[in-house]
Amino acid sequence: MIYLAAEHFVRAPQWTWYILGYFFFAGLTGGSYAVATLLRLVGDPRDEPAARIGFYTSFVALIFCPLLLTVDLGASWLKFWHMLIDVTPGDQGLNFKYWSPMSVGVWALLIFALFPTVSALESYVLDRRARGSAGDPGGSRFRTVDAPAAPIGGVLGRAFNIVGGVLALFIASYTGVLLSVSNQPIWSDTWMLGGLFLASGLSGSAALIALLTRYRADAVFSLGRLHEADGYFSILELVLLVAFFITIGAAGTVGMTVSYLPLWLLALVGIGAALVAARGHMRIRPGGGGGSAVIARAGTDTLVVSVLVLLGGLALRAAVIFSAQ
Amino acid sequence: MASAIKPGESYGFFTDTSICIGCKACEVACKEWNQLQGNDPKFLADSYDNTGQLDDQNWRHVKFIDDVPTQTVDAGNGKAWLMMSDVCKHCKHASCMDVCPTGAIIRTEFDTVFIQQDVCNGCRNCIAACPYSVIALNPKTGTAHKCTLCYDRLQGGLQPACAKACPTQSIQFGLLGDLHTAADFRLATLHSQGVTQAELYGRDETVYGGLNAFFLLMDKPETYGLPNADNAKLPTRNDVGGYLAALVTGVLGVIAGIVAFRRRGTS
């Protein structure tokens, strides 16, 4: 049963810009790794270049996460490691509280960091190898690789990706659960935030990878599929957003969201853009008719849609964070 | 009483708001002993309250609540300003301890809730969790602060500064069992005098398993800014539901990805 809180006398924790940034990049690092893993494991071999974009993206987004979390601690930033190690006299040891999403999340982030790092390195090695075998050691971002090198590791490599993918889904979602596990209005009045942030993270990641295919011609093959996936993720996000508003409406805290209406609307625009792009993804098939003009138009569409989806994801998190505080 | 303070026993406050006169001696004594600078005075245009709230500089706060009806009532039936010296409740089931990821928040040998300043790293998860708006971040130290129930004084066999300074015995310190007995007696006395609205808050286990700092209130808890028993819930109540929703979304997300990417040879 969903607990419906009628009263809140709690102080806002002042989780603001750094935490917003962390939530955004956590969604992207987790979402990108999950999407990349799906592309690699269930997609066509020609999806491999897009998968590698996803691994690179996940790694770059990952770098921001611990930085933002540490900076947010302010004057106590040097004690960031207390999240992992209990220094209480007489009770020293590793610090893991399965019931505290912040504790679980810190450990998950630490372990997850291995996966984008290794997968991005693997992607870099494979791309270097492909460029070398094509007689183009300098490399060209826009050169098509007809037969991308297979991922390293065989079954073990796939298992590595799957474990990383599961952790990635957790990283993209636990930030929402962390908010719910509080006594703050809005946040604690719903169970939907974990799912909502995950769907938004997946959607934003698919959009970002689609956007980056502009800089890697051999990844264009996956463009339409990424938009289609983004559409599905956005449907999930929309359903969860509706459920979110129903639950906080029942708790009587929906009124607190009104002052951030523009952010909610921007989040909706992002969802809408993804849905429109998904519906029209057939237009951007290479060889689907229209030749380079169609590709060029698809590129423009992707730019606009991806930027809107990413802004929508950022706006969604900002609206959730700031509405309660 | 002071010499009897022993580790291993449960200590707390019984704050009887029916005899609080709003003198703020507790606030002053708390600041003086704990060397709290206090915030700059502000005119809040809200009765005699210029402290405003419990925070990192105010570990005791005397609330002034306007309970005077706008309509004139019969003699002897009027209401008055409610005054309440608010403080950390040192909950048996403490929300702050529940979510603290560093282990900085501990239960002491006196059964009180204490934030270890050298362990706290300022994540502010406890602030988001505390249902009483007790804990606040000190930006200079970067750590969370709240009432310690004068942990250092208890270790030295002294009662907390606020209880010692209270001129009306509104704040009583002692063994929890003794305080419960005193509170029950006081409540019975008030009820026998026709003050039927008086009630104990945090005396039993309905609110966070019982509060080591509990109150006798002259109105409903909500009037004092305290969640009632129906709303006094631990943050971790949302663990299972939150993770479950995320899990379902994750499964659906993976299925969506498979549907979108599984077709081979087409784009």
Q: How many CB atoms lie under 10 A from the CB of residue A282?
A: 13
Q: Do B122 and A75 touch (CB under 8 A)?
A: yes
Q: Do A236 and B249 touch (CB under 8 A)?
A: yes
Whether B253 and B177 map to the same domain: the answer is no
* A10 CB within 8 Å of a chain B CB: yes
Among candidate residues B245, B95, B131, B98, the one with its CA nearest the CA of residue A193: B245
Q: How many CB atoms lie under 10 A from the CB of residue A197?
A: 32
Q: Is residue A9 assigned to a domain? A: no
Cα distance between residue B101 and residue A81, in whole Å: 11
At a CB cut-off of 8 Å and minimum separation 6, what does B221 contact? B201, B227, B228
Q: Is residue A1 assigned to a domain? A: no
Q: Write the DSSP symbol of residue A10.
A: P
Paired strand residues for A69: none
Q: Is the pLDDT of residue B2 over 90?
A: no
Whether B228 and B245 map to the same domain: the answer is no
Q: Do B130 and A2 touch (CB under 8 A)?
A: no
* B177 CB within 8 Å of a chain A CB: no
Among candidate residues A95, A125, A99, the one with its CA nearest the CA of residue A178: A99
Q: Is the pLDDT of residue B191 over 80?
A: yes
Token pair listed for B28: 């002053």
In a mutational test of the B interface, the residue from A100, A161, A285 whose CB has the highest number of chain B CBs within 10 Å is A100
Q: Do B257 and A34 touch (CB under 8 A)?
A: yes
* B127 CB within 8 Å of a chain A CB: yes
Q: Which of residues 198-237 of A touch B (CB under 8 A)?
A: 198-199, 202, 221-226, 228-229, 232-233, 235-236
Whether B77 and B190 map to the same domain: the answer is yes
In a mutational test of the A interface, the residue from B58, B243, B248 whose CB has the highest number of chain A CBs within 10 Å is B243
> Tens of pLDDT along B209-248?
999 999 999 999 999 999 999 999 999 999 999 999 999 9
pLDDT at site A69? 96
Alpha carbon A23 to its chain's center: 9
Q: Do A34 and B253 touch (CB under 8 A)?
A: yes
Report the run of H or E that residue B159 belongs to, with start and end.
Answer: none
Q: Is residue A150 assigned to a domain? A: yes
Report CA-CA distances (Å) from B137 to B38, B125, B155, B188, B226.
13, 11, 25, 40, 21
CATH of the domain at A296: 1.20.1630.10
Of A3, A10, A42, the CB nearest to B131: A10
How open is the CA angle B135-B141-B145, to the nearest 5 degrees? 20
Cα distance between residue A203 and residue A216, in whole Å: 20
Q: Do B244 and A11 touch (CB under 8 A)?
A: no
Cα distance between residue B224 and residue B15, in whole Å: 13
* B231 CB within 8 Å of a chain A CB: yes
Q: Please tell me the pTM assigned to this model.
A: 0.91
Report CA-CA distances (Å) from B251 to A157, A206, B9, B147, B248.
22, 17, 50, 45, 5
Phi-psi region of B122 (alpha: psi -120 to 50; beta: other; left: phi over 0): left
In a mutational test of the A interface, the residue from B123, B126, B224 whose CB has the highest number of chain A CBs within 10 Å is B123
- Structural domain range at position A216: 17-323
Among candidate residues B18, B40, B36, the one with its CA nearest the CA of residue B27: B36
Question: What proportion of chain B, given as a percentage, has pLDDT over 90?
Answer: 84
Q: Is residue A64 assigned to a domain? A: yes
Cα distance between residue A205 and residue B256, in whole Å: 14
Instruction: Please list, residue by residue across A250-276, b when 16 or more beta carbons sit within 10 angstroms of its beta carbon and e when fewer do.
Output: ebebbebbeebeebbebbbebbbbbbb
Among candidate residues B134, B120, B247, B232, the one with its CA nearest the CA of residue A176: B247
Of A9, A35, A194, the CB nearest to B242: A194
Cα distance between residue A286 and residue A250, in whole Å: 48
Strand B105-107 to strand B82-87: parallel, antiparallel, or no bridges (unpaired)?
unpaired
pLDDT at site B78? 62
Backbone torsions φ then ψ of B211, nearest 5 degrees = -110, 135
* B122 CB within 8 Å of a chain A CB: yes
In A26-139, the DSSP E strands lie at 85-86, 93-94
- Tens digits of pLDDT across chain A (325 residues): 344 445 789 999 999 999 999 999 999 999 999 999 999 999 999 999 999 999 999 999 999 999 999 999 999 999 999 999 998 888 889 999 999 999 999 999 999 999 999 999 999 999 988 877 766 554 444 444 455 667 877 889 999 999 999 999 999 999 999 999 999 999 999 999 999 999 999 999 999 999 999 899 899 999 999 999 999 999 999 999 999 999 999 999 999 999 999 999 999 999 999 999 888 764 445 444 444 555 555 666 889 999 999 999 999 999 999 999 9
Higher pLDDT, B72 or A13: A13
Question: What is the total count of domains within chain B?
Answer: 2
Whether B35 and B57 map to the same domain: the answer is yes
Q: Are A297 and A305 in contact (CB under 8 A)?
A: no
Question: What is the total count of domains within chain A?
Answer: 1
Whether B87 and B144 map to the same domain: the answer is yes
Among candidate residues B174, B88, B77, the one with its CA nearest the CA of residue B126: B88
Q: Is the pLDDT of residue B43 over 60?
A: yes
* B129 CB within 8 Å of a chain A CB: yes
Q: Are A168 and A34 in contact (CB under 8 A)?
A: yes
- Structural domain range at position B146: 2-233
Q: Are A74 and A138 in contact (CB under 8 A)?
A: no
Cα distance between residue A316 and residue A263, in whole Å: 7
Whether B195 and B258 map to the same domain: the answer is no
Average pLDDT, chain B: 92
At a CB cut-off of 8 Å and minimum separation 6, what does B188 contact? none
Q: Are A229 and B263 in contact (CB under 8 A)?
A: no
ipTM: 0.90
When pLDDT is averaged across residues B144-162 and rounded to a whole number, the result is 97
CATH of the domain at B116: 3.30.70.20
Q: Is residue A118 assigned to a domain? A: yes
Whether B24 and B105 map to the same domain: the answer is yes
Higher pLDDT, A290 or B109: B109
Q: Is residue A213 assigned to a domain? A: yes
Paired strand residues for B16: B216
Whether B139 and B84 map to the same domain: the answer is yes
Q: Is the pLDDT of residue B81 over 60?
A: yes
Q: Is the pLDDT of residue B263 over 80?
A: no
Q: How many CB atoms lie under 10 A from the CB of residue A133?
A: 11
Q: Are A220 and A286 in contact (CB under 8 A)?
A: yes
Q: Are B122 and B144 in contact (CB under 8 A)?
A: yes
How many angstroms away from the CA of B74 is the closest CA of chain A?
33
Q: Are A88 and B103 in contact (CB under 8 A)?
A: yes
Q: How many CB atoms lie under 10 A from the CB of residue B109?
A: 15
* B52 CB within 8 Å of a chain A CB: no
Using DSSP's 3-state secondary structure scheme, residue A80 falls into helix
